[in-house]
Structure 1
Amino acid sequence: MGTVMATVPPAVSGVAPASDPAPVARSATRAGPVFAPVAAEIAETDRIFDRTLAPHRGPFGPLIEHLRHYRGKRLRPALLLLTARAVGKVLPVHHTLAAAMEMIHTATLVHDDVLDEAELRRHAPTVNAGWGNKVSILLGDMLFTHAFHLTSTVDGRACQITGEVTNRVCAGELRQVTERGNLELTEADYFTIIDGKTAALTECCGRLGALYAGASEEVAAKLATYGRNLGLAFQIADDLLDLTGTEDAAGKTLGTDLEQQKLTLPVIHCLHRLAPAEAAKLRDLIRTGGDGLGLRVLAALEKTQSVAHAKRRADEFARAARQELECLPRSECRTILETVAEWSVRREK
């Protein structure tokens, strides 16, 4: 498969906002691209998601309701559904698969907030901030198992593909955790991590959408590669936001990467561009932390033009994603998929 590659306050007891009569349209607006061609399909995916968790509302009502704050852009289900529409048509099986992908994504967010000790997600307290780490871990596990149960209602191939992608996601997350504190991390190491933790799931959405719409293996591979490159571009942009964004705009806790000595692309580039003595001082500063860390790092990033470097890499992946769409006939959905690639590197949250 051709692609561009590089050398976790007080307990929350309130109930989530009332049912949204048009959740898809609002999600699409937040994401930037207009997902109108698959709006009804995304709404059906949301219904499957909610119906699957409905049996748990009795004992865990506020907790299940709080998950609404974790479901914002609907990017992954939209990607799967747009891919299906671009090569054929959306079938009921796509609704089930899209709900499973959104459950996997939500599970990773719940677990990530525990790992990052985050307190804010989409302008609301995280699950771990309200219920603690133990509940968060078990909730994420439950979402994973429900996702696998959903794919088991499709067929064995869907289970196999989903199993492979969750293996890659978990391996990427594990690699990231074990590399925390490694201030000698390379760009190649970074791309290996994000290829698993982020790009694997968007790649899977492209593949499943195409395959279950009747696309050939060749076309499905190209749309999987589109999803992979999109995920890489998206994660680089996310890591830039953690350094240069604002919590008001992003709606989540920022600055956790540096605090936990988790190196991302701009910082890696910076450390390898500085003179050895300067790089050693910056590594010591990151290792010891303290007041002024963020400003000192930002000054170093500006000196080495490392933010610009990361933006260029994100643009490269977004461009590579768009190129994979040339296998598709011109259509409204293809145009939206192209727009999604562009939005992934221009967003503010």
Structure 2
Amino acid sequence: MRLFKCSHCGQLLYFENTTCEKCKYPLGFETNKSKLLALVKQENDTYTLYNDSKSDHYRYCANHEHDVCNWMVPQNSETPFCTACTLNHTIPNLSKPEYVQRWKAIEFAKHRLIFSLLQMKLPVLSKIVSPEKGLSFDFVADESKDSSQRILTGHENGLITLNIAEADDIEREMARKAMDELYRTVLGHFRHEVGHYYWDRLIDGTEHLAEFRKIFGDDRQDYGEALKKHYAQGPPADWNQHYISAYATSHPWEDWAETWAHYLHIMDTLQTASAFQLSIKPEVARKSDHLEVELTEDPYQISDFTVIMNMWLPLTFTMNSLNRSMGLHDPYPFIIYPEVIKKMAFIHRVCNRAKS
């Protein structure tokens, strides 16, 4: 995530801000400029960009009225929804206040996902535009008390389904413990499931498929049987030497999706760190520890993944140390071994070649 400031008063902003807390100007995210900008209200609920005499006229995305989106659409847009919200196929029942709050958390995470994909210059198409190759989201609640009919989070042919219970901190933590996971977040779910979508778009049937099979394994093995075996027998004892998570061992598709999710964790967090120009120089570390780093480069502009990992390892040690000082869990409780780094480097190459 990049760092934003109010174009009216210079106040630093969070990506989700709709109003500058200092000067009170309304704010909106403009996708072509990739900036969160101060706005000047005009007639008919349209806005122009502050201090831009040639500014086009914009409207807020239609979902702004629900306080879940601060992105703008051009006044003459064919859709009232922004680039991120036009991907929605199903949203929760807004007559239920608790569902609205869950949807807000979901949209905040989804907008961060879409921002990252745009930074990566990957194709982001709605199924409205491309039914066969597009992307869409169903945000659905469990309406039945029958556990056998529980909504499962997953992906199928570009449609990502998310059980909105994942936006409830207590329910998500219960699921994390039940699944014996180190890490479970709404944004992590989005990154994992969109990994399946981009496997279809970037790997399947492309020049990258043969190399994928060498690195991740043969995707042609029966997926259903592989999952049954995984849940019955569990992961190999040495799984962490070869995979980013235990679930990644179940099938090459899941290995790709889990590794892809962590790749996005790394890229987005490093971009935030570079926006703050962080400098890490542990006072007791030796140079041979390789923990000194100047985080000044945007990782999306770096082609060599080795450079990215050399930035990431000191940052995670720092983040984990800070959290422990607050009595909190490590934000990144993972050790990345060379074989997993090789998988991430492959993803990085594929994404760089796919830039639109």
TM-score, with normalisation over the residues of structure 1? 0.32
Between the two structures, name the one with larger relative contact order (CA 8 Å, sep ≥ 6). 1
Rg larger for: 2
- Structure (1 or 2) with the greater helix fraction: 1
TM-score, with normalisation over the residues of structure 2? 0.31
- Structure (1 or 2) with the greater strand fraction: 2
